[in-house]
Amino acid sequence: MRAKFFALSLAGLIASIGSAHAATEITFWHSMQGALGERVNEVVEAFNKSQSDYVVNATYKGTYGESMNAGIAAFRAGNAPDILQVFEVGTATMMYAKGAIKPIQEMSEEVGDPINPADFLGAVASYYTAPNGKLVSMPFNSSTPVFYYNKDAFKKAGLDPEKPPKTWEEVAEAGKKLRAAGFECGYTTSWPSWVQLETFGAWHNVPYASKNNGFGGLDARLEVNAPLYVRHMTFLANMAKEGTFTYGGRADSSGALFTSGKCAMFTGSSGNRANIIKTGNFEFGTSFLPYYPDVKGAPQNSIIGGASLWVFAKKPPETYKGVTKFFKFLASPEQSAKWHQVTGYVPVTKAGYEVTEKSGFYAKNPGSDVAVKQLNAETTENSRGVRLGYLPQIRDIAEGEMEQIFAGKVTPEAGLANTVKRGNELLERFEKSVK
């Protein structure tokens, strides 16, 4: 009897193990660490628990640049992951990696579970779609620049804490009053090229580059030496000269100037919100980006940062079924809303925004919907975003020139002309390498 029981138990164990191994495993390489990495793990765990056919295994593979290089190298070696998170400036590189990627809308249609681009915010979907209007990658952690300001500092300077500056002229005037009130700096910005050139162009509905900012072809060339860009760099250089604008460095390094209370106004990613709440010892507000009111069509819409999820080619059909289910899970109203609320990234779907709004989250957290409103617009050929090869390197060039401009070492005209010259040399190289 005992032997029979043992045999049955063993058979059940084997059946259980067999059933567990029957689940299709999906590899997912990402670049989210710290608290954001924990959020990614929570989302993946929730998906794995929601069904038994697929198991997603999430692995942190370093910074965006590191993980993208690792993914491409793995594909060449024949062992690419199924899903790779890639920052938005790597979009052109991934799109033109012929034979390496599986466009996600095409994938979902082939498995009979279509992903609809109309479900996503306009500016988000349009950035990650091919010329045929179909999504090439899955929108995931999308952010956009917004305007933050220190309400306590505004009160001290005699400014209305409920009326943030709307125009660049108002930013400059507020900066003077803040300086007069004893603040070390009036205004600073993070990600200088993304905010002050790429997004600035979209917000004012002027081209950053030809060929619809690169969406229209590989022969696109920079146009950031146009009059409005020169005007803006001149404006910021004058603010720097009078001490109302402080250049705080590249990437997100200037965020510390705002959270420390030194600078009372700051343009940075909507994803900064959680960190400002955590480290800023003051009441702050979030508002729309400043603009020049005499520019026709301004403000238009801001553009996205962050990253999307790419699927590699040459995977089994069952893997593509699982990846599609995982992506549909991420895009569900509840998951999209939760990701937005706990991370500060925008809800990439319209339904995610609606769920968040109905929950009262925006009423309890004023300004947290600004990023969504800036993005939820019908984009133009100038405001869809920037899709250029070597864009990370072009940003480095632009920011190096901006540093010279703000330090008064070169004129805005000369700095922007040099950005165009050096940037176009890179674009010519990229065009030749792809062709």
Residue 71 and residue 152 share a domain: no
Mapped onto helix, strand or coil, the DSSP state of residue 275 is helix
User: Is residue 4 situated within a structural domain?
Assistant: no
Residue 229 and residue 103 share a domain: no
User: Is residue 416 situated within a structural domain?
Assistant: yes
Residue 296 and residue 167 share a domain: yes
Residue 135 and residue 61 share a domain: yes
User: Is residue 312 situated within a structural domain?
Assistant: yes
Question: Digits of tens for pLDDT over the chain (435 positions)?
Answer: 544 444 445 545 544 444 445 899 999 999 998 878 899 999 999 999 999 999 999 999 998 889 999 999 999 999 999 999 999 999 998 988 888 999 999 999 999 999 999 999 888 888 999 888 899 999 999 999 999 999 999 999 999 999 999 999 999 999 999 999 999 999 999 999 999 999 999 999 999 999 999 999 999 999 999 999 999 999 999 999 999 999 999 988 999 999 999 999 999 999 888 789 888 999 999 999 999 999 999 999 999 999 999 999 999 999 999 999 999 999 999 999 999 998 889 999 999 999 999 999 999 999 999 998 998 788 899 999 999 999 989 999 999 999 999 999 999 999 999 999 999 999 999 999 987
Please give the residue range of the domain that contains residue 52: 19-143+304-364
Q: Which of 331, 364, 397 is the last residue of a domain?
A: 364
The residue count for the chain? 435
User: Is residue 12 situated within a structural domain?
Assistant: no
Give the Cα separation of 346 and 308 in Å (integer): 13
User: Is residue 315 situated within a structural domain?
Assistant: yes
Mapped onto helix, strand or coil, the DSSP state of residue 276 is helix
Residue 81 and residue 189 share a domain: no
Which residues 6+ apart lie within 8 Å of 289 measured at CB?
Answer: 145, 146, 147, 199, 203, 267, 299, 302, 374
Residue 404 and residue 323 share a domain: no
Residue 334 and residue 250 share a domain: no
Name the residue among 286, 176, 193 with its Cα closest to residue 247.
193
User: Is residue 382 situated within a structural domain?
Assistant: no
Q: Which of 316, 347, 364 is the last residue of a domain?
A: 364
Our count of domains for the chain comes to 2
Check which CATH number belongs to the domain holding 58 and give it: 3.40.190.10
The CA-atom distances, in angstroms, between 195 and each of 125, 145, 265, 295, 330 are: 20, 6, 14, 18, 28
